[in-house]
Structure 1
Amino acid sequence: MKNILLLVHDDHGQEARLQAALDITRAVEGHLTCIDVTPYPLIAGDGFGFAETVVVLDERESEAKNKSVISDRLSREDVSWSWIDAMDEIANAVLDAADLADLIILNRALDGFPMPDMRDIASRIVARASAPVLAVPETLERFELERALVAWDGRPSAAAALRAAVPLLAFAKEVEIFTAQGPDNHIAPEEAATYLSRHGIKANVRKTDIGKFHADFLISDEATMFRADYMVMGAYGRGRLRETFGGTTKNLLTESKFPLLMSH
């Protein structure tokens, strides 16, 4: 994991995204690519008229100021970085830049700020990107690497997320593989722990019965008790098309207190 792709956009989640990106880039001694997106205006009507032009000009001015601030800050940080300017819908712009990314850093939903719709953006990107997505809450001040919770359901998406997370899990002092037992666990959590052990990563397995609880509640509760710094999880519920937003993923991307490293 050396190539980190960061969404740069002047919104309430930007500082958390940037801090996570800097912490991870330093840890892996990688390169940070910033994609600064000026979104197309979402205005009803045919054609690209005066109102749309005004919105675009305002967005360009705002992002130009934002670029100046962020570039100045990055020039004083001890990381390798580069910059891409894009004008497109945010998810499309990030996907276009993500082919050679090892990790994409976004937000989960922004509390109290419906636009940009980070939950939708993250869900669309994780559905289509080959790289994993890290979605952080806007309250994040520092991305810690010491305690990782792996939410395990034994399905290919969980295995993909686990494989993608290995470079970060290697920094962890404690890793827990947490599973709500069910008849459809394709790969046992013990097999996941064995896989990690071959990478020199020790992981403990904890099982619970799902009962009447929703999976997102159980995962969040376990992450709190474990004092997780971040969570690793597959991105979709069972029986869903790959492009469809799974219920557990949707709920966690709405309100998780913990950064989510996701893959499909």
Structure 2
Amino acid sequence: MKNVLLLVHDDDGQEARYQAALDVVRAVGGHLECLDVAIMPEYIGDYFSGAGGASLLADEREAETANRKRLEERLAREGVSWSWTDVLDDPARAIEQAADLADLIVLSSAALEEREDLRNLAGKAACETGHLVLAVPPKARGLALADTALIAWNGSHEAETALRAAVPLLALATETILFDIDDKGTHSANSAASYLSRHGIHPVVEMVRGKRDDAIYSLILERARAANAGYIVMGAFHHSRAAEYVFGGVTRSMLQESEFPLLIAH
């Protein structure tokens, strides 16, 4: 894991994304690719048509120009390898196009601001790009890679994908908990533990059975809190409907409610 793609945009989640991305880059000796997205307002409507729409776009560009200046000054002092790309686009499309050579994409888990263009970005990116996504809560401050890592396991293909992709970071944790919630997939938690052991990671396997989907996310969060986990690894589930992403109940609830950074993959 070397190439870390960070969404840069002057919103409430940016500082949390920035600090978490730096923690990863420093830990793995990687490179930080900053993707600064000035968001194209696609649904401006009659009120903002013409001069109004142009004014909105000019304000967005001005805000991101100032944002770039501030962050570049900070990056110059961070002591990490980094590069910068500016785009004017829808953020989901910009991320998908920039992600081809990324090992990890760093996004916010939820938007504090009520903006449709910033909503569900992490889940969409995981499903559309096939890459590992670090979904960072807007109020988080950094990523504690040396703390306990909690893997939410159900034996699904999505969980397997997330686990494999997260191995370079799991190797940095002082303890790893394989929290087997409802193992109905192809591979058991013990198989996953054996896989991790071959990478020098020896997880503690814990099993919980017979829980409804609407209770699973609460169980995951309760266990993470009890373990003082630094982050959670899990698969991302969705159903496609008319080009929209309707996330499974556990995935949706975790993205909305978790105070822990999530490593998710589809």
**Coarse TM-score class (shorter-chain normalised):** over 0.9
Alignment of 1:165-184 (within 5 A): 165-182=166-183, 184=184
Measured against aligned partners, the alpha-carbon deviations of 1:90-139 in whole angstroms (never above 9, x if no partner) come to: 1111111000000000011134x212654421121111012111001111
Unaligned runs of 5+ in 2: none
The answer to whether the 8 Å contact 1:9/1:63 transfers is: yes
Counterpart in the other structure of 1:24: 24
For 1:104 and 1:244, locate their aligned partners in 2 and report how far apart those are by CA, in whole Å. Answer: 21
Q: Percent identity at matched positions?
A: 47
Other structure's SS at 2:208 match: strand
- 1:222-261 correspondence runs (5 A): 222-236=223-237, 240=239, 244-261=246-263
Q: 1 CA distance for matches of 2:118 and 2:140?
A: 15
SS at match of 2:155: coil
Q: Paired residue for 1:10?
A: 10
Q: Which amino acid aligns with 1:104?
A: I
Q: In structure 2, what is the equivalent of residue 120 of structure 1? A: 120
Q: Could you tell me how far apart the structure 2 residues matched to 1:166 and 1:251 are?
A: 24
CA distance 1:9–1:133, shift in 2 (3 Å): same
Higher mean alpha-carbon deviation, 10-19 vs 131-140, is at 131-140
Secondary structure of 2:86 counterpart? strand
Deviation (angstroms), 1:72 = 0.6
Superposition map of 1:15-164 within 5 A: 15-41=15-41, 42-45=43-46, 49-111=50-112, 113-115=113-115, 118-146=118-146, 147-164=148-165
Would the aligned equivalents of 2:90 and 2:117 in 1 still touch at CA under 8 Å?
A: no
Shift of 1:51: 1.4
Query: In the alignment, what sits opposite 1:218?
Result: 219
Alignment deviations for residues 166-202 of structure 1 (CA, whole Å, 9 cap, x no partner): 00001011000001235x2321001001000001111
- CA 1:181–1:47: 2 relative to 1, 3 Å: closer
> How far apart in 1 are the matches of 2:204 and 2:226?
14
Which letter maps to 1:37? V
In the TM superposition, residue 211 of structure 1 has moved relative to its aligned partner by 3.0
RMSD: 1.9
Query: Counterpart of 1:211 in 2: which secondary structure?
Result: coil
Which SS does the other structure have where 2:82 is aligned? strand
Partners of 2:180 and 2:97 lie apart in 1 by 34
Cα distance in 1 for partners of 2:223, 2:118 equals 25
Between the two proteins, the alignment pairs up a number of residues equal to 260
* 1:152–1:233 CA contact under 8 A, matched in 2: yes
- Shift of the 202–29 alpha-carbon distance from structure 1 to 2, 3 Å rule, reads same
Distance in 2 of aligned mates of 1:261 and 1:110: 17
Amino acid at match of 2:144: E
Partner of 2:201: 201
Extract unaligned runs of 5+ from structure 1: none
Alpha-carbon distance between aligned partners in 1 of 2:75 and 2:265, rounded to the nearest angstrom: 28
Taking the aligned partners of 1:48 and 1:152, their CA distance within structure 2 comes to 48
